[in-house]
Amino acid sequence: MGKINSILNYTFEFSDQVHISVKAILVVIFAFFITNNLLRLIRKIINKRLEENDKGKFKTVFTFLRYFIYVFVIIITLESSGIEVSVLLAGSAALLVGLGLGLQTLFQDVISGIFILLDKSLHVHDIIEVDGKIGRIFEINLRTTRAVTIDNRVLIIPNHIFLTHSLFNWTQNGIETTEALNVGVAYGSDVEKVKQLLIEVAEQHPRVLKHPKPDVLFMEFADSALQFRLIFNINNSFTQLKIKSDLRFEIDKKFREHKIQIPFPQRDVHVFKRTE
């Protein structure tokens, strides 16, 4: 028994003020083990009461909070064992300051990720636009959000971007979006015929929704052309570039058939002859 006590009381001395015994190490390990099992039990209980869509979000947030709980338990256990944790923290103050500065952006991303998961401002399959880049979200993590772009590239977005930059969520109000296509025709064109042809082209496209019906706005009398805007709705805005391309091909074809010109920029130059 005495030998066991001597082993338990054996102390590792790192300096005059910093030392830790074998007993304290075992107590920390035991406290860590108990805390881990309690957290697992709590997670199982809460998971049973959550909807299936919220389980993944809770798992991500719970994983982040668990590390803070571990650190807190270890500090309390060491203090209870007679070890002055404040001395350890004071001795490593410079290291902690440097580490904190280096991890500043990381913590911003993590906190932003928690806000995103809790307030449900973003969901998987949402189509977003950030800094001029468009992508469909396929994964939301604590630190980053991943989206696939129209050209099938993966866009990795640090979560703090969503708090510091403007974000357009194309599908926040549903999967239907209103798109627009601008077209200019030459002066002297039959504007009613132009409107009719544009609506026909939109209505004939299989991916353009029938309701609400496509519409055409006469935008302005521009310098070189009469400007029109074709407005239509689709239910998959991720394919809007392909749909607009199809419409442009068909518009060009229809205009050629009906002798409607799409003009290029023109300037009238007037030359005055100076007379003496």
Query: Which pLDDT score is estimated for 125?
Result: 84
Query: Which pLDDT score is estimated for 187?
Result: 92
Q: Which residue has the tokens 């500065």?
A: 101
Non-local (6+) Cβ contacts of 205 within 8 A are 232, 243, 246, 247, 250
Interatomic CA distance for residues 193 and 256, integer angstroms: 13
Interatomic CA distance for residues 30 and 119, integer angstroms: 37
DSSP 171-206: TTT-S-EEEEEEEEE-TT--HHHHHHHHHHHHHHST
Encode the chain (276 residues) as per-residue pLDDT tens digits. Answer: 666 666 656 665 555 555 566 677 777 788 878 888 888 888 788 777 666 665 666 666 677 677 777 777 777 776 666 666 555 555 455 545 555 555 677 777 777 777 777 777 788 888 888 888 888 888 888 788 899 988 888 999 988 888 777 788 887 777 788 899 999 999 999 999 999 999 999 999 999 999 889 999 999 998 889 999 999 999 888 888 899 999 999 999 999 999 999 887 766 666 766 665
Non-local (6+) Cβ contacts of 117 within 8 A are 57, 60, 61, 140
Non-local (6+) Cβ contacts of 184 within 8 A are 222, 224, 225, 226, 227, 228, 262, 263
Q: 0.75 exceeded by the pTM?
A: no
- Which domains occur in the chain, in start order? 2-91 (no CATH), 119-169 (2.30.30.60), 177-257 (3.30.70.100)
Interatomic CA distance for residues 119 and 266, integer angstroms: 53
